Amino acid sequence: MSGFDTEVLVAGLGPAGAVAAAAAAAGGARVLAIDRRAQAGLPVQCAEFVPMMLGGDTPAVRAARVQDITTMDTYVRGAGPDITPDFRGHMIDRAAFDAALVEAARRAGAEVRLATPLRAVAPDGTCTLADGTRLRPRVLIGADGPRSLVGRAAGMPNRALMETRQMSVDLPGPHDATDIFLRPEIAGGYAWLFPKGGLANLGLGILPAKKALLKPLLDALHAELLAARRVGPRLARLTGGLIPVGGIAGLAARLGPTQVLLAGDAAGLVNPVTGAGITPAVLSGRMAGRAAAALIAGDAAAAADYAEEASDLFGPSIALALARRGEILAASAAGPVTDAALRRGWIAYDDYWSRTPANALWEVKEPA
């Protein structure tokens, strides 16, 4: 390991980083995993839904499960709901989920350091921590979120972001659907109500240029649902954050002798329409960790193989979502957005998956 201080350095201990650290350690690499947060998973900046498939092979999902989801109910403007049956998944406690993944990384043999921010990454791959410690890893895994410092240093920053705001509200009764609200005024995003037992996550995502509308739009939706007696008046745990919505930013690069791999949000592995990122974070983290261990063991092709495998797995769905997101943004810029355009831009509707020309689905009008 001449010239290097550590074999694998993982920056970020969200789902992607924690799973990557566990996979790399299990593969025989010496792993140091760091995160700026003092406690894994906190603060929670997530709607906390995961699909059923992830719960089948990720023990942390079972440990953090709060309730099951059976359908998705979509409300276009004031109409609806349009019900998508058999949309099965779990609502989880994200803090408990992340904590379980970090503990699994420790058990696998990774050294974990919380409250340890990464301050800088040099062109030769040298990493400087907030306390001044300098490290040169053979493999650097960037799992440090939408504004990844590792990704920027490697020339692979996320190209587009969505601003979000979320609050916890009381639920007056049982609910087992994820509620989606599609409205033209929620530019570049949508609103959601995701149940968690006696509570629900009520949130909204929007273009950064419209960030000032986050609070009034979310407050208005809460008032609307309160009047319909679908939620209670109490508000708690107000959070917000960024979601990458620009497609795959990059997966592998080199900084001098250091091999860089990106995973999860840092790599842009998030659906640009739904904002769903937990599943690709877990899967890409596992793949990146295994690739890191293979690189340490002497497999020079492991980084390129990881990039190819991840592109094949996530690329098609992300590309389709990027196309649909681009269409709805173009429709919004051109004139009033029709219900057909809103449906075209959401996964619950057949038009989302069709090859119908986009300009057949909305009427372009001159502004009044």
| 97 and 150 assigned to the same domain | yes
Question: Span 7-14, mean pLDDT?
Answer: 97
Nearest to 4 by CA among 114, 148, 140, 130: 140
Mean pLDDT check: name the lowest of 4-18, 78-92, 181-195.
78-92
Q: Which are the contacts of 49, defined by CB distance < 8 A and separation ≥ 6?
A: 69, 89, 90, 91, 92, 178, 194, 276
Cβ(280)–Cβ(266) below 8 Å: no
- 202 shares its domain with 223: yes
Q: Is residue 140 part of a domain?
A: yes
Q: Which one of 190, 222, 244 terminates a domain? A: 244
What is the number of structural domains in the chain?
A: 3
Summary mean pLDDT of the chain:
91
- pLDDT above 90 (res 191): yes
Looking at 244, 264, 286, the residue that finishes a domain is 244
The tokens describing 330, both together, are 């173009």
User: For residue range 244-302, what is the model confidence (pLDDT) as tens digits?
Assistant: 999 999 999 999 999 999 999 999 999 999 999 999 999 999 999 999 999 999 999 99
CATH number at residue 233: 3.30.9.10
Are both 208 and 62 inside the same structural domain?
Answer: yes
User: What is the per-residue pLDDT for 368?
Assistant: 22
- Decide if 325 is inside a domain: no
Given pLDDT bands bounded at 50, 70 and 90, which one contains residue 356?
low
Tell me the residue ranges of DSSP E strands in the chain: 6-11, 31-34, 49-51, 65-69, 71-76, 82-84, 89-92, 111-113, 118-121, 127-129, 134-135, 137-142, 161-170, 177-182, 191-196, 199-206, 235-244, 252-255, 258-262
Neighbours of 22 (CB within 10 A): 26
Whether the pLDDT of residue 314 is over 80: the answer is yes
- pLDDT at residue 298 in the model: 96
- The pLDDT of residue 2 is 52
**pLDDT for residue 94 is more than 70:** yes
Residue 41: the pLDDT is 75
Same domain, 68 and 36: no
Q: Output b/e per residue, 119-154; b: 16+ Cβ within 10 A.
A: eebeeebbbebeeeeebbbbbbbbbbbbebbbbbbb
Q: Does 354 or 118 have the greater pLDDT score?
A: 118
